[in-house]
């Protein structure tokens, strides 16, 4: 039986283990990336690991999230990250250069290589045939220091794209359709591998859009073949030497298959407040729009924004609509400036923002109260935009641009009067180098640490008997935004866990912080898909700081579960779903932990009811939690 693309890459980069679904594997890492809201923790942990040089071929630190410098905090974080780059020989991407995933796709993605990044949308580079995996910060620090990543071999789902898209239907509509079918839990423990005649009409940046939002499905990553389209893209980026052909074998085995007919696909929209709450645009047309925001790592490529410029050219944004556009990279911004596209956007009434994550991460452009905001971003969780009462809809650049002119949500199909399929790419993409600083290894470089940067919390070894109070009980699909909110006033606190902890679960239960601080050992009860969304390990570190030692849920999102394990917090699942219903907030639980079987007997001491819990992880994961987290585990193992 032949191999999928995923298993070919795993076999080629395997250090130890067998490439069999569900088995543990140690994987050689070729590249790492960080961004500034997660990067400070990565590099604090790297320093804690005590190594003198990096162990990967290429490491890049991007400044793209916290670029609004309202106080000293963000600038201090950037100075700290840059000083670590000087010591370890890490490439430093300055603020203004653009979004990590768009930049990495342009400049560094290599088909067949393995990338691990401290951002959940790292899979964007799968659009160029790279196995790109989002992970928690400590996993990235270990990859940087020791060159490997340990994981369970995922299952592989083959998504077969057939037919051809209609004009006005974008790559974003394809992934929204897949989210409609599979839901935000449908990709958990899978790599999504794309094939079929339909991929021939998709550029690398189209493919990257689809891979980017595979994160919203909970997938480990997503990957497209490395083919003629990949070679063409790399040539235009001046990197043809990085090309390697990558296809699945004709008789490759897949664990699941999903077929998507592009010819029948219409423009899609994700309604508030989840990326899988998807419906055809034409079924809810006419909703009045207050704000349109185009950009993010999902839809800020050259082809995306040239499509927007074609729709806007000679037209005017509706009077009551605020339209913002955030280019994905400095190179894209320069090309749009040089070819006149920026002028067309400005003449239409668009506001051109810095090449950064910006509004997607809550850095500016919060809409007015009760507003309707159309965004080409990847997440529309309640309050993520910065306004709790706003309703955010996720759409393609085509739908966003057309709706900004009309003043209401409307499908662009057959209405724009321009050919949206024909975007002429330049023979060579501009390569703006001024924002990249290529530091050489310098072990004596001084580490600069501002006053807002506090040590990350360390756990203690796990006892065989753990008693604690249920501080919070949640429902399904709790996001990392719910656990640790992301907004312009809180993002500068990402390096300061003690201060950030005051806002833990703020939108769900404002008293969580006070209850936790007045309690010695805490336990959280969660529903399905607990911890979906961002890779931010703060969603584990902050609860750890507040005394949380276990999270008991129906199921976990992949990255967050890894972050809990790395922090030494027990991720436990109910043996019987019935037991979830029986536990109340405020209950006092006693956990008796069998270190041999990894089975935990729980006792609700108020009614003496007993039930079983299962550790949701591998044998190695359990050893990490027993040690009190990955840092303490590595100290004992190395």
Q: What is the DSSP string of 98-153?
A: B-HHHHHHHHT--TT-EEEESSTTGGGGGGGT-EEEE--HHHHHHHHHHSEEEEEP
Cα–Cα distance between 195 and 66 in angstroms, integer?
Answer: 37
Give the per-residue pLDDT at 282. 96
Question: What CA–CA distance (Å, rounded) separates 243 from 227?
Answer: 9
Q: Please calculate the CA angle 287-291-296 and round it to the nearest 5 degrees.
A: 115
Angle between helices 619-627 and 558-566 in degrees, nearest 10: 40
Place 495 in a pLDDT band, splitting at 50, 70 and 90: very high
Distance CA 411, CA 396 (A): 10
- Domain borders along the chain are 9-264, 268-406, 465-637
Q: Rounded to whole angstroms, what are the CA distances from 512 to 376, 509, 537, 601? A: 33, 6, 19, 26
Peptide bond into 273 cis (omega under 30): yes
Strands (E), 318-458: 322-325, 351-352, 372-375, 391-394, 436-438
List pLDDT tens digits, range 549-567.
999 999 999 999 999 999 9
Q: How far is CA 567 from CA 103, 208, 347, 372, 634, in A?
A: 30, 31, 51, 38, 12
Q: Give the tens place of pLDDT for each residue, 146-155.
A: 999 999 999 9
- Can you tell me the distance from the alpha carbon of 549 to that of 557, in angstroms, rounded to the nearest whole number? 18
Q: Give the model confidence (pLDDT) of 84-106 as tens digits.
A: 999 999 999 999 999 999 999 99
Give me the chain's average pLDDT, please. Answer: 95
**In the predicted structure, residue 26 carries a pLDDT above the cut 60:** yes
Instruction: Give me the phi and psi of 325, to 5 degrees please.
Output: -130, 125
237 Rama class: left (phi>0) / alpha (psi -120 to 50) / beta: alpha
Q: CB–CB of 128/225 below 8 Å?
A: no
Q: What span, in angstroms and rounded, lies between the C-alpha atoms of 324 and 16?
A: 48
* Mean pLDDT computed over 69-98: 96
Categorise residue 10: left if φ over 0, alpha if ψ from -120 to 50, beta otherwise: alpha
CA distance linking residue 85 with residue 101, whole number of Å = 19
Q: Above pLDDT 70, what percent of the chain?
A: 100
Q: Indicate whether 548 pLDDT > 80.
A: yes
Domain 268-406: CATH class, spelled out? alpha beta
- Asked if residue 638 has pLDDT above 60, the reply is no
- Same fold: 9-264 with 268-406: yes
Please list the residues that pair with 293 across neighbouring strands: 324, 375
Q: Residue 202 contacts by C-beta under 8 Å, 6 or more apart in sequence?
A: 161, 171, 210, 224, 229
Shortest CA distance to 356 belongs to which of 66, 30, 33?
A: 66
Q: Are 339 and 303 contacting, i.e. CB atoms less than 8 angstroms apart?
A: no
HSE on the CB side for 502, CA within 13 Å? 6
The partner residues of 280 in beta bridges, in order of sequence, read 268
**Of 492, 487, 483, 498, nearest in space to 537 by CA:** 483
Structure tokens at 245: 């052909």
* Confidence (pLDDT) at 491: 85
Which residue spans within 395-474 are E strands per DSSP? 436-438, 465-473
**Rounded distance, CA 388 to CA 370, Å?**
8
Say what the pLDDT of residue 637 is.
Answer: 60
Rounded to whole angstroms, how far apart are CA atoms 575 and 615?
Answer: 10
Query: What are the residue ranges of helices labelled H in 277-386?
Result: 302-312, 330-338, 341-348
Residue percentage of the chain with pLDDT more than 90: 91
The owner of tokens 């990957």 is: 223
Q: Domain 9-264: which topology?
A: Aconitase; domain 3 (3.30.499)
Centre a 10 Å sphere on the Cβ of residue 389 and count the other Cβ atoms it contains: 11
Sorted by sequence, the CB contacts under 8 Å of residue 50 that are 6+ apart come out as: none
Q: Region 49-59: what's the mean pLDDT?
A: 96
Cβ atoms of 332 and 297 closer than 8 Å? no
Other C-beta atoms lying within 10 Å of the C-beta of residue 232: 15
- pLDDT tens digits, 400-457: 999 999 999 999 999 988 887 778 889 999 999 999 999 999 999 999 999 999 999 9
Cα(560)–Cα(529) distance, rounded to whole angstroms? 10
The CATH class given to the 465-637 domain equals: alpha beta
The terminus-to-terminus CA distance of the chain in angstroms comes to 39
Calculate mean pLDDT across residues 250-268.
Answer: 97
Q: What is the CA radius of gyration of the chain?
A: 23
Residue 268 in this model has a pLDDT that exceeds 70: yes
């Amino acid at each position: 039986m032949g191999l999928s693309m995923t298993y070919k890459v795993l076999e080629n980069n395997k250090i130890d283990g067998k490439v069999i679904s569900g088995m543990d594997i140690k994987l050689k890492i070729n590249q790492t990336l960080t961004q500034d809201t997660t990067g400070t923790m990565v590099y604090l942990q790297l320093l804690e690991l005590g190594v003198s040089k990096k162990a990967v071929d290429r490491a890049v630190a991007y400044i793209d999230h916290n670029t609004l410098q309202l106080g000293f905090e963000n600038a201090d974080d950037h100075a700290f990250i840059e000083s670590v780059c000087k010591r370890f020989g890490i490439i430093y991407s300055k603020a203004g250069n653009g979004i990590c995933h768009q930049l990495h796709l342009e400049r560094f993605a290599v088909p067949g290589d393995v990338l691990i990044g401290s951002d959940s949308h790292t899979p964007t580079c799968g659009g160029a045939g790279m196995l790109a995996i989002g992970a928690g910060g400590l996993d990235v620090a270990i990859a940087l220091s020791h060159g490997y990543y340990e994981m369970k071999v995922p299952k592989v789902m083959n998504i077969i794209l057939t037919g051809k898209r209609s004009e006005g239907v974008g790559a974003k509509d394809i992934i929204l359709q897949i989210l409609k079918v599979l839901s935000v839990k449908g990709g958990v423990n899978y790599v999504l591998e794309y094939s079929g005649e339909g991929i021939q009409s998709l550029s690398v940046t189209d493919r990257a859009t689809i891979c980017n939002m595979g994160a919203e499905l909970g997938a480990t990553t997503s990957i497209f073949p490395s083919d003629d389209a990949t070679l063409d893209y790399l040539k235009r980026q001046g990197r043809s030497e990085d090309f390697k052909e990558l296809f699945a074998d004709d008789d490759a085995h897949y664990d699941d298959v999903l077929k998507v007919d592009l010819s029948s696909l219409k423009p899609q929209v994700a309604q508030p407040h989840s990326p899988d709450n998807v419906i055809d645009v034409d079924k809810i047309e006419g909703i009045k729009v207050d704000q349109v925001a185009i950009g993010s790592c999902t839809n800020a490529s050259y082809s995306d924004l040239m499509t927007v410029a074609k729709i806007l050219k000679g037209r005017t944004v509706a009077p009551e609509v605020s339209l913002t556009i955030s280019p994905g990279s400095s190179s894209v911004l320069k090309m749009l400036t040089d070819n006149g596209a920026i002028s067309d956007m400005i003449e239409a009434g668009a506001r051109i923002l810095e090449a950064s994550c910006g509004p997607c991460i809550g850095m500016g452009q919060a809409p007015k109260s009760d507003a309707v905001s159309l965004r080409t971003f990847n997440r529309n969780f309640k309050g993520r935009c910065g306004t709790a009462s706003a309703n955010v809809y996720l759409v393609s650049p085509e739908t966003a641009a057309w709706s900004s002119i009309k003043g209401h949500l409307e499908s662009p199909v057959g209405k724009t009067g321009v050919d949206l399929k024909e975007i002429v790419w330049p023979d060579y993409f501009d390569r703006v180098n001024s924002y990249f600083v290529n530091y050489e290894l310098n072990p004596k470089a001084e580490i600069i640490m501002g006053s807002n940067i506090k040590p990350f919390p360390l756990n203690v070894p796990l006892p065989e008997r753990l008693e604690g109070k249920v501080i919070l009980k949640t429902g399904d699909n709790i996001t990392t935004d719910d656990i640790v909110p992301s907004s312009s006033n809180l993002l500068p606190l990402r390096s300061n866990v003690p201060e950030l902890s005051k806002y833990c679960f703020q939108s769900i239960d404002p008293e969580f912080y006070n209850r936790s601080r007045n309690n010695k050992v805490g336990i959280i009860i969660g529903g399905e898909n607990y911890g979906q969304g961002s890779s931010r390990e703060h969603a584990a570190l902050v609860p750890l700081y507040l005394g949380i030692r276990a999270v008991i849920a129906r199921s976990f999102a992949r990255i967050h579960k890894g972050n809990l394990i790395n922090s030494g917090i027990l991720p436990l699942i109910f043996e019987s779903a019935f037991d979830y219903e029986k536990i109340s907030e405020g209950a006092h639980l006693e956990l008796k932990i069998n270190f041999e079987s990894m089975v935990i007997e729980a006792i609700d001491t108020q009614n003496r009811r007993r039930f079983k819990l299962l550790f949701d992880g591998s044998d190695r994961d359990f050893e990490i939690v027993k040690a009190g987290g990955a840092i303490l585990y590595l100290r004992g193992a190395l």
